[in-house]
């Protein structure tokens, strides 16, 4: 039977059959399989990385404007107001919290601040 010999409309009551093709996605509804491990199991819980603090220390070598610009260039998304507040706190108190983040980012931000000639350390945030 050629394609032109097939009827264009299926007669009422005629069943439609589908053939499975290897590798083709199935249209059958998929029911999720439940894992034998419960969500409360300690081995499946996500553990957050412990935060570390990046501390800026005051020095007498850098101008206040330089410190603010270095903070803004070193820490992504730091606003001018936040950078000025961190700089002023370090100037008045001797040190200031820049931010708390995972260790790898804290090390990166510390190195960026050091590259601008600032004094910065990392402490574990308990």
Q: What is the DSSP letter of 16?
A: P
Q: In the predicted model, is pLDDT for residue 35 greater than 80?
A: no
Distances (CA, A) of 99 to 52, 78, 87, 105: 8, 10, 13, 10
- Dist CA 68 CA 79 (whole Å): 10
| Band of residue 126 on the pLDDT scale cut at 50, 70, 90 | confident
pLDDT for the residue 97: 97
The model's pTM is: 0.63
- Dist CA 99 CA 86 (whole Å): 10
Average pLDDT, the chain: 83
Top pLDDT among 61 and 34 is at 61
Q: In the predicted model, is pLDDT for residue 81 greater than 90?
A: yes
Q: Are 96 and 36 in contact (CB under 8 A)?
A: no
Looking at domain 52-124, its CATH class is alpha beta
Q: In the predicted model, is pLDDT for residue 1 greater than 70?
A: no
- Dist CA 72 CA 68 (whole Å): 6
pLDDT for the residue 55: 98
Cα dihedral across residues 32, 37, 41, 44: positive or negative = negative
User: Which of 6-20, 65-79, 110-124 has the lowest average pLDDT?
Assistant: 6-20
pLDDT for the residue 36: 58
| Band of residue 6 on the pLDDT scale cut at 50, 70, 90 | low
Q: Are 103 and 49 in contact (CB under 8 A)?
A: yes
pLDDT for the residue 105: 96
Any idea where the domains of the chain sit in the sequence? 52-124
């Amino acid at each position: 039977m050629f394609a032109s010999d097939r009827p264009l409309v299926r007669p009422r009551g005629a069943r439609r059959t589908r053939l499975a093709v290897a590798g083709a996605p199935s249209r059958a509804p998929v029911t999720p399989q439940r894992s034998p491990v419960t969500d409360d199991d300690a081995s499946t819980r996500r553990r957050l990385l412990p935060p570390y603090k990046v501390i800026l220390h005051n020095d007498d070598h850098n101008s206040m404007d330089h410190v603010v610009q270095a903070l803004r260039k070193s820490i992504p998304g730091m606003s001018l107001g936040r950078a000025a507040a961190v700089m002023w706190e370090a100037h008045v108190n001797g040190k200031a919290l820049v931010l708390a983040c995972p260790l790898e980012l804290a090390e990166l931000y510390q190195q960026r601040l050091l590259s601008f000639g600032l004094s910065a350390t990392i402490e574990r945030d308990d």
